[in-house]
Amino acid sequence: MGTKPNLTDAGGAPVCSEGAALYAAGRDRALPVGFILWILALDVLGMGLAMPVLPTLIAEFATVPAQRVSLVLGAAIASYSATQFLFAPMLGALSDRYGRRVVLLVALAGMAASNWMVALAGGLVSLLIGRALGGASAANIATVMAYIADVSDGERRTHLYGSVGSVIAVGLVVGPVAGGWLASINPHLPFIVAGALAALNLLYGWFYLPESLRQENRRPFEWRRANPIGSLYALFRNGSMRPYLLAAICTWFAYGVFQSCFVLANQVRYGWNVVDASWALAALALGMALSQRYLVRRLTAHFSNRWIISIGYGCCSVAYLCYFAASSPWLTCAGIAAQALGLVAEPAMRSELSRCATERHHGELQGGLTSMLSLVGAIAPLLGSYALTVAGGGTGDPATVGWPFVIGVAMYALAIGSLWHTND
């Protein structure tokens, strides 16, 4: 077995490998970026395995009536997002103090444990605890984004955030398809595999991930910035950032409705099983990967970030209208295509927000942003699940299950209005 790399020299620069030393000298930043994208890909692949399987796993428990599965699914999604809300600013602040590497590795260990806990869950309580631990661990997305911000600036940062989106999409393409196939063998198997992938992530990062934050750019850990309320206050105190934050809240609310309603609504409409839902989610992720891989760079050459975000949000509005009105799988597929195109907005949004923060504050920014979106992600699925139940998700009425997606259309309209309600 190898030994743990020596991460820093006396000046705090990473020296764990030749590639990391080159990075520290500023001559080659591609290698650590490749490491972080690979780690993110494995992490998201593990999450993608679980996405289409949770409704089936919840339905296994005898204590859950069929008409309440959508509400329990909303609770499972909300528990994940709630702990992400609580822990994201803490992980961001800790990464500003101790570096990105150690925070990422601890979070990966938690992700492995949470997936195995869900796999072995014997009831709703243990399943929800496992999901809550997974949310706390998934707060490492703030540290991943801070790592990217450490090694980039300007237009390159937008391109790298586009690469992050593409990597996430690739993981979400492979994950749901593999999850559906594994669930056809045993509904618990996807979570076992997801835990193993997170453990592989941990092993890979332990030996090959260099530190990105130099000692001179680190800052003291402060509880007032590491708690969710303090991090949200720090975010909204920045006036130039505020319109983008409000837009992000609206769009994440729409996505929370999508998370809790898409699979179950299509089960009611078309009789889709877990494999069908997996392929639909994979198609969305593949479209996202293609749009962020090939469109982001071209759009940034001709449009400002605000215009790119607005175009993306317009496409997503069309997608949610398709989901609302869908009377056949073809209209649902049209919505998937429109939503995939619309997700070009995400890297532009991340880039615009990071532009407002100094290098010493990237961890705090990304932690606060992840916390804010996680809070929305804890509320929106509950509302979406309740709306789906009221609209016919519990009684199986195909004519009415699309109504919750109207919430998403309204949220995207508000987001576009927020973007342009500024004189910047």
The position carrying tokens 């620069």 is 13
Tens of pLDDT along 263-304?
Answer: 888 988 998 887 888 889 888 888 887 887 788 888 888 888
Q: What is the pLDDT of residue 329?
A: 92
Long-range contacts of 111-114 (CB under 8 A, 24+ apart): 111/43, 111/46, 111/137, 111/138, 111/140, 111/195, 111/198, 111/201, 112/195, 112/196, 112/198, 112/199, 112/201, 112/202, 113/137, 113/195, 114/195
Residue 239 has pLDDT above 60, yes or no: yes
Tens of pLDDT along 365-403?
Answer: 766 777 787 788 778 888 888 888 887 655 567 778 889
Tens of pLDDT along 397-424?
Answer: 777 888 999 999 999 999 999 888 754 5
Q: What is the pLDDT of residue 23?
A: 41
Q: Which of 126, 137, 110, 114 is nearest to 58 (CA)?
A: 126
Q: What is the pLDDT of residue 96?
A: 84
Contact 356, 308 (CB under 8 A): no
Q: What is the pLDDT of residue 18?
A: 36
Half-sphere exposure of 293 (CA within 13 A, CB side): 11
Residue 237 has pLDDT above 50, yes or no: yes
* Residue, of 213 and 363, whose pLDDT is higher: 213
Q: What is the pLDDT of residue 333?
A: 94
Distance of CA 98 to the CA centre of its chain: 24
Q: Which of 152, 187, 170 is nearest to 43 (CA)?
A: 170
Q: What is the pLDDT of residue 15?
A: 38
Q: Which amino acid is at 311?
A: I
Q: What is the pLDDT of residue 17?
A: 35
Contact 248, 305 (CB under 8 A): no
Rounded average pLDDT over 1-7: 41
Tens of pLDDT along 43-86?
Answer: 677 667 777 788 788 777 756 666 667 777 778 878 887 888 88
Tens of pLDDT along 183-217?
Answer: 888 888 988 988 888 898 888 888 877 887 777 77
Distance between CA 221 and CA 327 in Å, rounded?
53
Half-sphere exposure of 154 (CA within 13 A, CB side): 2
Half-sphere exposure of 244 (CA within 13 A, CB side): 25
Least confident window among 123-132, 168-177, 251-260, 341-350: 168-177
Most confident of 123-127, 261-265, 312-316: 312-316
Q: What is the pLDDT of residue 405?
A: 94
Q: Which of 395, 170, 384, 380 is nearest to 262 (CA)?
A: 384
Rounded average pLDDT over 158-165: 74
For residue 339, CA distances in Å to 112, 256, 279, 319 come to: 30, 14, 15, 5
Which CATH number is 18-212+223-420's, of 3.90.550.10, 1.20.1250.20, 3.30.1490.20, 3.50.50.60? Answer: 1.20.1250.20
> For the chain, what is the mean pLDDT?
79
Give the global pTM.
0.66
Distance between CA 349 and CA 316 in Å, rounded?
15
Q: What is the pLDDT of residue 318?
A: 96
Contact 32, 19 (CB under 8 A): yes
Contact 35, 151 (CB under 8 A): no
